[in-house]
Amino acid sequence: MAILNFSRWTQLCQLHSLIKPFIILLIINAQALAAHKPYENSAFADVDGVSIHYRYWGDEKKEFIGSVLLLHGFGASTFSWQGVADSLYSLGYEVVAIDLPPFGFSDKSHRLNQSITARAVKLNIFLEQELPGRRWHIAGHSMGGAVAQAYAILYQEDLKSATFVSAALFPELHRHEQPVRLLLRLSPVRFILGELAQEWFISPRRVAGLLESAYGQKPNEEQIQAYIIPLKLYGTSRAILSAASFSRELFELDASDMTVPAIAIWGDSDTWVTYRSRQNALARMPHVELILLEDVGHNPMETHLNEFLDVWLPFLLQ
């Protein structure tokens, strides 16, 4: 990439200042659009000034056999757990699926701390605020699996079990800062790159290709659109690009400190986050049962719902 000269850089900064009011209006419009309940069971919560979109399967006046909390992976949303949530609710479970900011229909602020432990803390505040008094079965997929793991270490008393699905498990977390390239530290650069990514990268063809790689099979049109629509909300790309600049771990964690009953479910054909790549983390959690689904890719809860539930439900019912 060519280095910008001072004159060009000045022009970009002036452009950023001129269009900033319009950017704010677009953000407000995007937030208003999201607030119109993307799904029938959608709800929004303000958690320390951060807007969290979640979906709730249940009735707080009804007795359930358990409460299940579902966390999606990178670039996904509550949609990735929809089939599982519908099935669990029909079996008598209370279910909550959450959009982790900046994904789905949650907050798009580019200055959010998107670290694993920061997300776990925010999740705890959300549960205490919106759905207190439960002990949860937490389940996280891919990126959400790391958040579930951190939650299971930090708030073990809140959980009955933890389930990791093709999860980005960590052996340890440290509080040291990650190096960030100088250009990415500059707000106008992140804005421009975010705009380019929003327009160029998030297209039906590219999203379909990524889903086919993750699924191990061609996605249908509903799946493609369910991923594209929230990714196209204004501010998503910029917030993703800003993650490295603003994300700092709040705690140092060790996987061996987790004592919650746990299970790890992987597709043996997963090429995105292979179970072999997480052997160091799994070795620190010898009490975690590992189950491999044959000829299954990165998103087993979406592509092989029945097979996934067949191995997960006996664990939940223990």
Which CATH number fits the domain that encloses residue 292? 3.40.50.1820
User: How far, in Å, CA of 145 to CA of 197, rounded?
Assistant: 26
203 assigned to some structural domain: no
User: Do 245 and 190 touch, CB atoms closer than 8 A?
Assistant: yes
57 assigned to some structural domain: yes
260 assigned to some structural domain: yes
The count of structural domains within the chain is: 1
pLDDT at 230 over 70: yes
pLDDT of residue 188: 45
Which residues lie below 8 Å from residue 182, measured CB to CB, with a gap of 6+? none
52 assigned to some structural domain: yes
Please write the tens of the pLDDT for every residue from 9-44.
334 344 444 444 444 334 434 444 445 789 999 999
Q: What is the mean pLDDT of residues 284-300?
A: 96
242 assigned to some structural domain: no
> How would you list the strands of the sheet with 262-267, edge to edge?
42-47, 50-57, 93-98, 66-71, 136-141, 159-165, 262-267, 289-293
Q: Show the domain range for 271.
A: 40-182+249-316
Q: What is the mean pLDDT of residues 99-112?
A: 95
User: How far, in Å, CA of 56 to CA of 141, rounded?
Assistant: 18
Q: What is the mean pLDDT of residues 114-133?
A: 97
pLDDT at 158 over 60: yes
Q: Give alpha helix (H) positions in the chain.
A: 6-34, 82-90, 116-130, 143-154, 182-185, 187-196, 204-215, 221-231, 236-246, 279-284, 300-303, 305-316
How far from 250 is each of 117, 119, 122, 261, 262, CA to CA, in Å? 6, 10, 11, 24, 24
pLDDT at 117 over 50: yes
Lowest mean pLDDT among 21-35, 49-63, 239-253: 21-35
pLDDT of residue 189: 39
- What are φ and ψ of residue 136, in 5° steps? -100, 150
Please write the tens of the pLDDT for every residue from 171-204.
999 986 555 444 444 444 334 344 444 554 678 8
241 assigned to some structural domain: no
Q: What is the mean pLDDT of residues 273-295?
A: 96
pLDDT of residue 13: 40
User: How far, in Å, CA of 233 to CA of 143, rounded?
Assistant: 20
User: How far, in Å, CA of 11 to CA of 289, rounded?
Assistant: 57
What are 50's strand-pairing partners?
Answer: 47
pLDDT of residue 178: 56
Q: What is the mean pLDDT of residues 274-278?
A: 97
219 assigned to some structural domain: no
Q: What are the structure tokens assigned to 115, written together?
A: 């670290």
271 assigned to some structural domain: yes
pLDDT of residue 181: 45
